[in-house]
Amino acid sequence: MDGWRLRVVSVLICVYLLAGSAAKAQLAPAATKPFDLINWNGGKFIYGADYYPEAWPESLWEKDAIMMQEAGINFVRMGEFAWVKMEPQEGHFDFAWLDRALKVLNAHGIKAVLGTPTASPPAWLYAKYPDIAVMDANGVRYRYGSRRNYCLHNQEFRAATARIVSAMAKHYKDHPGVIGWQIDNELSDPKCYDPVSQAAFQAWCQRKYHTLDALNAAWGTIFWGHTYESWQEIPLPWNTLFNTYNPSLVLDFDRFQSDSTHDYLDFQTTILRKIAPHQAITENEMGMFQETNWYDLNRSLDFVAWDNYPMMYKDLTQYSVAGLAHDVMRGSKDNQNYMMMEEEGGVGGWATFIGHQSPAALYRVWDYQSVAHGADGICYFRWRTSRYGTEQYWEGILDQDSYRNSRYFMVQQTGKELQQLTPLLHGSSIVSPVALLNSPDSRWALQNQPGVDDFQYDQQLQDYYDAFRRGGVNVDVAFPPSDLSAYRIVVAPALYVSDQALVDKLNAYVMNGGTLILTFRSGVKDEHNVVTDRTLPGPFAGLAGVAIHEFDPQLNEEQEIVGLGETLFPTRCWSDILEPTTAKVLATYGKGYYAGNPALTENEVGKGRVYYVGTESKSPLFYDRLIALAARKSLVALNNKIPAGVEVSVRQRGGKKIIFVMNYTGTAQTVPLEQAYKNALTDKTEPMEVQIPAYDVKVLTE
């Protein structure tokens, strides 16, 4: 590196160190009451569409607003890709077109959230500052032409961000029809590997470890003699021979990327809160796409919003895939109600269509699933399918010809119903007896070192989540900082990376009467992604009451579990061979040299109990049996008669239940409940054996 570049990087390091310290001070969590989305929207359920007036003739705007109003739409998100329209030349702004669009929409009772347009910088910005583009791990800059192609630490990009966000905030801070802001669009990737990003990572490491001795000890850099003598020697996990990287470095780089995303979001929220303090701020997030730690990110936001596209799933009756994503998003803000900023309005696709077209009635069922899991707002993507660009195959409510199709009438029906239900829903929330512990550190570490090629962290979450949902039980998703004390059962799958604070929290939870389910690959590494020198499951050995001296990593299904009703359950992926110390054996392995050795144990500790599951089964019945056992001992009621493809989910207000029964299948179903309830949409009493038509929903109250 030449002298000039070295000086620039040194200055950037200093700037980043100072900025990082300030950011950490600003990002300390504050005790605030949950944001009331319905009050924010003037007492109405948020119901809307993502709208792009810049892409359509101005003569069409009035017709659009009329059709929206007739469909019950009272909300739009817009502006998030319109940077070049707002700032056609550097420092020259034009908001007149957006003012006119807002005037038309507001006249029809439609309010707006404006997206800061930083996800799609204009071509002139790349032409003047080409280094804002992302550099990949091979040292090649991406070309202009996509979106989200920017390095978070590039100072020219940060300056341009501050300029456009400040200008928008000053112009719309007192606009009666603008009620809030969305930061960027689907913040997370990409990772950038240029010298500025490397300098920022080195500064991040210096802030975290303070001394090189501490970093070298934490990362175990003595291995292969990779000890660092200066901060500038620390590399990024990029184009290295054999693609081998120190796992500790990689995990910290993932944390750095997440922190950098949060810092960039906070960079924008700080501007908006200073200029427009009375307008709410959110960001559209992506459910199970968790390259960013949502729990950390959402400390800077008033409420969570996210983008849901369930029609991409191969089996549309597998409602729990979307359900888990809903609950991850709700859990990322301590179970506060949230909104959908992009709810699927039609089949998706870029170069090809993703999935297939479904009955319009099924879109309505997915809408109600959002509400059942805690959404107080639904905004469809998008109002009309684009005629231009990459997303011509990504359908909106309307197609390009603006014809009032079956999806439009579905939106109209659902909008009317949700406004009818608003007095019932307002102030209600999700109450769950069960939590699933979602560990970003474990996910990231296992993505880098899965142990076996087909290991999927999210699949471990899904297997246990599905079993509870099949039993009609609400499930919260907790994160390591979450309070676990209210839950009867906590499932912590593959808790591969853990620090002492989390170990202490889980110990206290069990000692005070909680039921904890741990699985294979738990307690393997400390917070630095370094393997423990204690007998596995490491810090959880006492809780689990087992020792693990051998394990068998295998993907095939040559092994099986014997037990839980004398049933044989095929297993795959991994087998921890358990040696009980204080635990009771519930099931054993059935094949191979360790046949007869324990596979599943139960250990009573303090007032609680711990189950340790040494393997993964592809049989849903295994998880159903295990969950039934844990639920019975933890006094969690299950409904084991819910038909496949039907979901029962509950919101509560003042101790009263609001029950959503949702049929994702093309045939009528019968759902037995514990008592008769009143249908909130028809005001008629439903029998205990609820009859629900194909692709339909019933909302029931006590």
Q: Which helix (H) or strand (E) holds 100?
A: helix 96-107
Distance CA 250, CA 454 (A): 20
Chain CA centroid to CA 511, Å: 30
Alpha helices in 473-563 (DSSP H): 500-511, 541-544
CB 75 within 8 A of CB 46: yes
Distance CA 560, CA 457 (A): 21
In three-state secondary structure terms, 109 is: coil
Non-local (6+) Cβ contacts of 154 within 8 A are: 129, 131, 132, 196
Distance CA 36, CA 113 (A): 16
Instruction: Look at strands 697-701 and 656-663 and give their pairing.
Output: antiparallel
Cβ atoms within 10 Å, residue 339: 28
Alpha helices in 528-650 (DSSP H): 541-544, 620-634
Six-digit token string for 342? 């992009």
CA-CA-CA-CA dihedral for 422, 411, 465, 424, to nearest 10 = 10
Chain CA centroid to CA 337, Å: 14
Asked if residue 382 has a cis previous peptide bond (ω within 30° of 0), the answer is yes
Catalytic option among 87, 285, 342, 647: 342
CB 439 within 8 A of CB 527: no
Cβ atoms within 10 Å, residue 318: 16
CB 333 within 8 A of CB 304: yes
Distance CA 577, CA 561 (A): 12
Catalytic option among 186, 602, 616, 647: 186
φ, ψ for residue 156, nearest 5 deg: -65, -40
Catalogue the long-range contacts made by 539-543 (C-beta closer than 8 Å, 24 or more residues apart).
539/498, 539/500, 539/503, 540/495, 540/498, 540/503, 540/506, 540/610, 541/581, 542/605, 543/506, 543/507, 543/510, 543/516, 543/518, 543/603, 543/605, 543/610
Distance CA 627, CA 465 (A): 10
- Is residue 343 part of the annotated active site? The answer reads no
- Is residue 560 part of the annotated active site? The answer reads no
φ, ψ for residue 63, nearest 5 deg: -60, -40
Closest to 376 in 3D by CA, of 478, 433, 304: 304
Six-digit token string for 106? 């507001």
Output helix, strand, coil percentages for the chain, rounded to the nearest 5.
35, 25, 40
Q: Cα–Cα distances in Å, from 569 out to 478, 587, 626?
A: 29, 10, 12
Distance CA 415, CA 47 (A): 7
Instruction: Look at strands 475-478 and 669-672 and give their pairing.
Output: unpaired
**Residues identified as active-site:** 186, 342
